[in-house]
Amino acid sequence: MIARHRWFPFAAAAAVLAAAVFSTARTIGFPLRSEAGRKLKIVATVFPLAEFAREICGERGEVLLLLPAGADVHHWLPRISDVRKLQAADLLISIGKGLEPWLSSLVKGSAARTIPAMEAAEGLDLIPAGGKAEEAEHSHGSVDPHVWLDFGQDMKIVEALTRALSGTAPESAALFSRNAEGVNARLRRLDESYRASLDPFRGRSFFIAGHAAFAYLARRYGLVQISLTGLSPDAETTPRQTAAAISRAKAEGIKTVYFEPSTGDKMARLIAAEIGADVRPLYPGHNLESGQEGGAMTFFQFMERNLENLVHGFTGR
C-alpha cells in the first residue's frame, strides 16, 4: 500500500529523534513524478528492500539503504544526513508493522513536501501475536514484521514495489516489469531449493539462541522455530529461561544451536556446550554486517548460507 506522508520542517536534531508519533494519509497513486531521464532516488530502510529496488530499477534509479552496515534495525538512531536523504527521495520503502521504530521521528524531521511511501508488509499474510510459528511474546506490535524471510511473500513485495516505481516513473514501467520478472525468477529458484532440501525435515525443530526472527521461514517450510527470548529483540534471558531452553533442546535432539551474527555467539556456545551441539549462524538478512559493504554479500547469498546451515543442523553434514 502507498502512503502519502506530509513531512514537517526540521528544526533541530533533538526534536527529530525525540518525536514519537506521525500521521499519514492513505492515498492511491503518486503525487510526485520524476523528470524523464533523471535517476529516481529510492530510500529503503532494510537490506532486502534495497536489493530488490536496485535490481528492479537497474540504471534508472539510485537506491540508498538507511541502515549503516552492522546497525540493528530495532535500535538504530537516524542522523541529520539521513533526513537529507529523505528530502531528496522520490520513494521511501519500509517494512512497517513496527520493525523500524525510529522511522516516524525521521519522517517528521524532513522537509515540507509530499512524497510517496510504501510499506512492504501491508496486505501480506502476517503471523499474529501468539501465532503457532512463533514461540513467545514480542514487542513489534500485533504481528511479526520479518516478512522477507518468506520468499513467497518477497515475490509479492517485488510486485508491489514494481507498481510503486511505475507510478513514480510511468515511462519506465516496462523496464521495471522486466527486471522484476528476473528478481522473482531468482526468488522462485531459491524457494524451490529450500523446499527440495528441507522437505525431508518437515516437523523438525531448529534452535536459535536469540529472538524469534525466523517464524516466516519456519511456517513456509514446515519447521518449528525454538527461540531463547521470543520475538522481542529487547528481552533479556533469565537463568530459568536458559535452563528451560537447554532442557527443550536436549528433548528435541538439537545438534546445532544457531545465533544471529549481529548479536554474537556467546549464548549459543554456552547452550551448545551443555547439550553437545555445534554452533552456526542464521542471518535475518535485514542488514549487512560490518565489512560487507560494496556488494560483498547479497540477500540471496545470505539466504543460501542459511539453507546450508539449516541442512547441516538436521543432517550433521
Right CATH for 197-315 from 3.20.20.70, 3.40.50.1980, 3.10.150.10, 3.30.70.260: 3.40.50.1980
Mean pLDDT for the stretch of residues 10-26: 33
Does the pLDDT at position 231 exceed 70? yes
Predicted confidence at residue 14, as pLDDT, reads: 33
177/236: higher pLDDT: 177
> Which CA distances in Å does 301 have to 165, 187, 289, 298?
25, 12, 13, 5
Which range (24-33, 38-47, 179-188) has the least confidence? 24-33
pLDDT tens per residue across span 251-293: 999 999 999 998 889 999 999 999 999 999 999 999 987 766 6
Interatomic CA distance for residues 235 and 228, integer angstroms: 9
Predicted confidence at residue 28, as pLDDT, reads: 28
pTM of the predicted model, to two decimals? 0.85
Predicted confidence at residue 15, as pLDDT, reads: 40
Measured on CA atoms in the order 104, 109, 114, 115, is the torsion positive or negative?
negative
Predicted confidence at residue 293, as pLDDT, reads: 63
Predicted confidence at residue 65, as pLDDT, reads: 94
Outline which parts of the chain fall under CATH 3.40.50.1980: 2-190, 197-315
Interatomic CA distance for residues 124 and 19, integer angstroms: 28
Half-sphere exposure of 303 (CA within 13 A, CB side): 22
> For the chain, what is the mean pLDDT?
84
Q: How confident is the model at residue 48 (pLDDT cuts 50, 70, 90)?
A: very high
Does the pLDDT at position 18 exceed 50? no
Question: Percent helix, strand, coil in the chain (nearest 5)?
Answer: 40, 15, 45
**Hey, is 258 helix, strand or coil?**
strand
Interatomic CA distance for residues 317 and 313, integer angstroms: 8
pLDDT tens per residue across span 71-85: 888 888 888 888 888
CATH class of 2-190: alpha beta
DSSP 59: G
290/94: higher pLDDT: 94
> Which CA distances in Å does 249 have to 103, 168, 197, 207, 227?
37, 50, 22, 7, 10
Mean pLDDT for the stretch of residues 20-28: 29
Does the pLDDT at position 181 exceed 50? yes
Mean pLDDT for the stretch of residues 11-35: 37
